[in-house]
Amino acid sequence: MFKRNGKVYTEIVPDCSKATLQAIIRGKVEPESIIYSDDWRGYNGLVDVGYGKHLRVDHGRNEFARGKTQINGIEDFWGFAKSRLTRFRGVSKATFFLHLKECEFRFNYRDQNMYRVILKIIRKNPLF
């Protein structure tokens, strides 16, 4: 899960390994982007695969910001998603992806008129 162009992107992954995470990042994030992350080892080596800047915070040392380096945007998303999903008192594994993508959509367009956003999408992509 990450922010790209100010938008959050989520994906269900089979594991949190370096290979899995970096493949997703390489497919979604431009190499000239600055990557902000926590200290998870799966993010190790992003500079080695072509990303110019990778800045981290170390939650393990109670670090939540280092100068201007912070990941509060992602933390905001997870707070939003958890709050929204808690209302369901659990969702099935089969539909979790759909609920997560709905949270992603709502979070990315939270400052806009949702009716107009959806209407624009439907006009651009009619069902028939």
Residue 38 confidence (pLDDT):
79
Residues sharing a CB contact under 8 Å with residue 68, sequence separation 6 or more, in sequence order: none
User: Predicted confidence band at 102 (pLDDT cuts at 50, 70, 90)?
Assistant: very high
Report the alpha-carbon angle 71-51-30, nearest 5: 80
Residue tagged 């201007």 (tokens): 68
Total of domains in the chain: 1
Q: How far apart are the first and last CA of the chain?
A: 32
Q: What is the mean pLDDT of residues 82-99?
A: 88
Cα radius of gyration rounded to whole Å, the chain: 17
Contact residues for 37 (Cβ-Cβ < 8 A; gap 6+): 43, 54, 55, 56, 57, 71
Convert the pLDDT of each residue in 54-81 to its tens digit.
887 766 666 666 566 555 667 788 888 9
Condensed to tens digits (0 to 9), the pLDDT of residues 7-40 reads 888 889 999 899 998 898 888 888 888 888 878 8
**Residue written as tokens 């000239």?**
32
pLDDT of residue 5: 55
- Confidence band (pLDDT; 50, 70, 90) for 121? very high
pLDDT on residue 55: 80
CA dist 64 and 53 (Å) reads 19
CA atoms of 39 and 63, how far apart (whole Å)? 10
92: domain range? Answer: 2-124
Question: pLDDT averaged over the chain?
Answer: 82
> For residues 105 and 72, which has the higher predicted lDDT (pLDDT)?
105
